[in-house]
Amino acid sequence: MTSITAARLATVLGPWRTRGPAYTALADRIRLVALDGRLAHGTRLPAERDLASALGLSRTTVAGAYARLRDAGVLESRRGSGSFVSLGARPAADAAMEGIPLDFTKAALPAAGPVAACYAAATTLLGPELSRSGYEITGHPALREAVARHFERRGVPTDPEQILVTSGAQHAIALLSRVLVAPGDRALIEQPTYPHAIDALQAVRARPVPVPVDVESGWDLAEAEAALRDAGPALGYVMPDFQNPTGASLREDERERLARAADRHGTVLVADETTMWLDLRRGPRRPLAGFSPAVVTVGGLGKLAWGGLRVGWIRASRSLVTRVAQSRTSLDLGTPVFEQLVAVELLARENELVAERRVRLGAGLAALRGALAEDFPRWMVPDPDGGLAVWLDCSPWSSSELVLGAREEGLALTAGPRFGLHGAFEGRLRLPFTDTPDAIRAAVRALRRAADRHASGPLTEPLVAV
């Protein structure tokens, strides 16, 4: 049974107070962090008295918030056992989307044009595979070869034995966290960052060491070097190309500086390249692995081709590939063969996929910037060189308030604190530009209605600044 302490919940909630009744605001914030995955279904919440003490509230206020959550079906109380987050029988993501027509919680594209043809081509290749066992712990030889060639085209010589095929990039991050991090080890992580990377590190009980990343200035490399030197993290997770959610990219000199710093201090640097292909105008850059043989690369086709194709990979030393494969057998016995054959076909059409995505994302970004200029003229909207979303300063509104209000307008978003540690980024909002221009404009109109009707304006306490 999972439980959360009062102190930890207070951190997760961040600055939650609004101008309305405290019990209503507290209930809304607990509901939000449950729906966006920061509180898992079945988590036992702290006792009313403990949470009241941690938040500096009366027990009556917390009791009122819990009662409101029970009425909304988000909390279940059991006599003698406590109060538990309840999202029904479905995962939080499914429960969160009930009755919401505009889903902007996922920065993901529909299937690219060549995907259907690649599935059809893979069907013709399946026959010979049926006479084999189908268990490919490290991956199908044809896909390992195709991924190795992908790295070689980018200037990083790679042997197929350095590739381990996974069931998506998130699976790769989880496997590496399990192998490289022991409970209590420190792990360098960007702040803000990809939420499920945080989840993977928390699952192995790592102690995160955050390094700031900013839309305009990128990574604070002086801070990263100090963290590597002083904390000695076992693992460092970075997204060097079109970082999620900021859209920032490391310059080539910064890649070399970071890779060498990790080498000096014995940190295994994991570079997540899932967004690497989504370049609108920046131009190619050398992979982080090109600056150090110790860098481990995670990749996948979910962003480039289709999220429904659960195929990813790890590029690492042969010895680390062997360790990960050995650890993997307690979880699964390999990625499905058919999907791997599809991935081989897709990698052969890499340039076609990139060109199609560039057109789609360029149109989406233009629509988003135009709509925001019309409905939120005071916002400074970033103009990223690529990626899937913009990371907005939504001041003076609270991100969480906007997200809750937007749900009532038929728009699902993810609040800024989901991308950070310790309740940070209440003044930030991620808006994807992956949908059609019409849907993007409809989403911005819904957000404007939420700001006008539901958000209370400036908070009664300062926003968390990072």
Give the pLDDT confidence of 69-115 residue by residue, as tens digits: 888 888 888 877 788 888 764 444 454 555 679 999 999 999 999 99
Give tens-digit pLDDT for 367-425.
999 999 999 999 999 999 999 999 999 988 888 889 988 988 999 999 998 999 877 88
d(CA 10, CA 31): 14
Q: Phi and psi dihedrals of 195, rounded to 5?
A: -55, -35
Mapped onto helix, strand or coil, the DSSP state of residue 333 is coil
Which of 21, 20, 70, 32 has the alpha carbon at shortest distance from 48?
70
**115-348 shares the fold of 6-94:** no
- Position 454 scores a pLDDT of 63
Mode of pairing for the β-strands spanning 296-300 and 218-219: unpaired
Q: Which residues make Cβ contacts (< 8 Å) with residue 391, sequence separation at least 6?
A: 192, 215, 245, 246, 247, 382, 428, 429, 430
Q: Which residue has the higher pLDDT, 178 or 44?
A: 178
Task: For residues 272 and 385, give the distance between their C-alpha atoms in angstroms, rounded to a whole number.
Answer: 18
Which tokens is 319 given? 């010895």
CATH class (in words) of the domain with range 99-111+352-453:
alpha beta
Right CATH for 115-348 from 2.40.110.10, 3.40.640.10, 1.20.1440.130, 3.40.605.10:
3.40.640.10
For residue 418, the 8-state DSSP code is G
Q: What is the pLDDT of residue 458?
A: 42
Reduce the DSSP state of residue 458 to 3 states and report it: coil
In a 13 Å sphere around the CA of 373, the CA atoms on its Cβ side amount to: 8
By residue count, the chain amounts to: 466
Residue 132: which region, alpha, beta or left (left: phi > 0; alpha: psi -120 to 50)? beta
Q: Is residue 461 pLDDT above 80, yes or no?
A: no
Distance CA 405, CA 13 (A): 17
Beta strands of 54-105 (E only): which ranges?
75-78, 82-85, 102-103
The answer to whether 424 touches 466, Cβ cutoff 8 Å, is: yes
Task: Record the tokens describing residue 66, joined without a space.
Answer: 């819990």
User: Do residues 455 and 405 touch, judged by C-beta distance below 8 A?
Assistant: yes
Query: Contact 346/305 with Cβ under 8 angstroms?
Result: yes
> Residue with structure tokens 């086709």?
301
Supply the pTM of this predicted model.
Answer: 0.83
The domains of the chain are located at 6-94, 99-111+352-453, 115-348
Contact 240, 271 (CB under 8 A): yes
- When the candidates are 1.10.3210.10, 3.30.460.10, 1.10.10.10, 3.30.750.24, the CATH number that belongs to 6-94 is 1.10.10.10
Residue 268 dihedral angles phi and psi, to the nearest 5°:
-80, 115
In whole numbers, what is the pLDDT of the chain averaged over residues?
A: 90
Give one DSSP letter per residue of 128-152, joined into a string: GGGGS----SS--HHHHHHHHHHHH
Give the pLDDT confidence of 178-198 residue by residue, as tens digits: 999 999 999 999 999 999 999
3 state DSSP class of 310: coil
